[in-house]
Chain A
Amino acid sequence: MSARELGDVILKVDNISLSFGVMKVLDDISFDVKKGEIRSIIGPNGAGKSSMLNVINGFYHPQQGSITFKGDTRSHMAPHIAASQGIARTFQNIALFKGMSTLDNIMTGRNLKMKTNLFWQALHIGPARAEELENREAAERIIDFLDIQAIRKKPVGKLPYGLQKRVELGRALAAEPELLLLDEPMAGMNSEEKEDMCRFIIDVNTEFGTTITLIEHDMGVVMDLSDRVLVLDYGQQLADGVPDEVRANQSVIDAYLGVPHE
């Protein structure tokens, strides 16, 4: 992709180190993400990519380092605070609420936008009802965007894998996030589904202006979509730059990309 107009740095990760007992999962990782950017994190399995997202999200607390999001620096934050600040994510192994319908899952994503208390909810009139309808409309806009009208009332547990991933994206989008973390959004999809997902990611970025950080293994997708790429291997930072730079980086080729066979 040619150079685009990107904003200031919205997320800055400084010297993050994360260990589980003696296992060092992330070793002194630093990078930043600019507003409006599509940033990819790549690397072999077990490199620590999902853990990095979990740290940004507040699910894992790093032993060292800090995260600066929208100007606020902290060593870690609670997950729901990360959510309320505008960070949303999808998960490697789909984490949808299997007992609920597509619509309900997406409505749950709107949770932080809804405030009426228990009493009005019990009566379901006045403010509670108005709020419910308002958020229903917002959810329907997302359902339109992702073209999943037909399955809106279906329990998500019964949906095929590709559609589940799309619903999960919808749930993340429902929160109107400023930073969207996507963990292998195209895993397990065929090329047609991948194209759809790519299209959605680009649309989210260009139409809503959402900053995106994604983990992905499909190199074609990564190189096409990303503004910049971060490469991790065994918790270490191998490279960080625009796709062409990273593609030519020898240590990245050795660790991960490989060379085409003669």
Chain B
Amino acid sequence: MLFFIEVVLSGLLAGVMYSLVALGFVLIFKASGIFNFAQGVMALFAALTLVGLMEKFNFPVWLAIIGTIAVMIALAWLIERLMLRHLVNQEPIILFMATIGLAYVLEGVGDIMWGSDVKLLDIGIPQGAWDWLWDQGIYVEKLELFAAGTAAILVIFLAIFFQKTRIGRALRAVADDHQAALSVGISLNTIWVVVWSVSGIVALVAGIMWGSKSGVQFSLSLIALKALPVLILGGFTSIPGAIIGGIIIGVGEKLAEVYVGPMVGGAIENWFAYMLALAFLLFRPQGLFGEKIIERV
């Protein structure tokens, strides 16, 4: 029984880590209608920059974080200038493809700038088992708890941001219709820089969490692929959906791996999340919280 609780908790926390990455997707999709495939690479790039600043330039942690945030904002500005601006009102598939291209570029640049070997990321987040639970026989990583807490704070902050502020409203307008938003005077370019910056910061947080957990390496960018089933479950435009979707995927995946995996040779994690998402889609094509697409003729 204890083992089961441990698996579930572990899944919950893994799920929250997925949600962190999914959040970045939701932000950009919500505000610009673009599915940013490069989100995972952005997390990797942010983490690389952070480690690079700390190691190569010997920045203290707080300065390195500020520095990385500045880099991500600069990156957002560059992306808007060089890419997004020229793709206004293109079809979604074109925008999606462009973000794949962007992912490749960021990956290469990150590798060249900071090197492609695995790096250790330690910014002082508590590690090791949570003693209180460990005494009861359940192993839970303090790091993952910390990540969960951070994610919760982020979600609350972002939800308020979107619902209550003027910029939040503008972001939602842009997501609906680029041209219409332009025609009421919303500056697309500024909005996009804002969104991609916020998304970049979210990517940084995700990068820190994942990097602390398993080191900063290329596979971090593949986490983006895992975020996709999360988004399907939670809907592409819902912030709470990203969290709940992440949790469902995280728990489902862990349970499947532990209890079903041994029967079929293991490594189910590679595809289980997708199958789960697929099954879900068949019953609810717009996800748990997504907006129902109403087609008018």
- Per-position 1/0 for A102-139, Cβ under 8 A of B: 00000000000000000000000000000000000000
A95: CB under 8 A from chain B? Answer: yes
Q: How far is the CB of B72 from chain A (nearest CB, A)?
A: 38
B293: CB under 8 A from chain A? Answer: no
Number of A-B contacts (CB under 8 A): 8
A97: CB under 8 A from chain B? Answer: no
Residues of A within 8 A of B (CB-CB), count: 7
B297: CB under 8 A from chain A? Answer: yes
A234: CB under 8 A from chain B? Answer: no
Residue of B nearest to A92 (CB): B297
A93 to chain B: which residues have CB within 8 Å? 296-297
- Assembled-state Cα–Cα distance A95/B297 (Å): 8
A256: CB under 8 A from chain B? Answer: no
A91: CB under 8 A from chain B? Answer: yes
Q: How far is the CB of A74 from chain B (nearest CB, A)?
A: 21
- Per-position 1/0 for A56-79, Cβ under 8 A of B: 000100000000000000000000
B297 to chain A: which residues have CB within 8 Å? 50, 54, 59, 91-93, 95
- Assembled-state Cα–Cα distance A54/B297 (Å): 8
Q: How far is the CB of A49 from chain B (nearest CB, A)?
A: 13
Question: Which residues from 256 to 297 on chain B have a C-beta closer than 8 Å to any C-beta of chain A?
Answer: 296-297
Q: How far is the CB of A110 from chain B (nearest CB, A)?
A: 21
Residue of A nearest to B296 (CB): A93
Question: Which residues from 3 to 48 on chain A have a C-beta closer than 8 Å to any C-beta of chain B?
Answer: none
Q: How far is the CB of A91 from chain B (nearest CB, A)?
A: 6
B296 to chain A: which residues have CB within 8 Å? 93
A91 to chain B: which residues have CB within 8 Å? 297
A59 to chain B: which residues have CB within 8 Å? 297
Q: How far is the CB of A98 from chain B (nearest CB, A)?
A: 11
- Assembled-state Cα–Cα distance A202/B254 (Å): 68
- Assembled-state Cα–Cα distance A59/B297 (Å): 9
- Assembled-state Cα–Cα distance A59/B296 (Å): 10
Residue of A nearest to B294 (CB): A20
Q: How far is the CB of A132 from chain B (nearest CB, A)?
A: 29
A93-B296, A93-B297 are known contacts; what are 6 more A-B pairs with Cβ within 8 Å? A50-B297, A54-B297, A59-B297, A91-B297, A92-B297, A95-B297
Those 4 A-B pairs whose CB atoms lie nearest each other, nearest first: A91-B297, A59-B297, A95-B297, A54-B297
Which residues on A are within 8 Å of B, measured CB to CB? 50, 54, 59, 91-93, 95
- What are 8 sample pairs from A and B whose C-beta atoms fall under 8 A apart? A50-B297, A54-B297, A59-B297, A91-B297, A92-B297, A93-B296, A93-B297, A95-B297
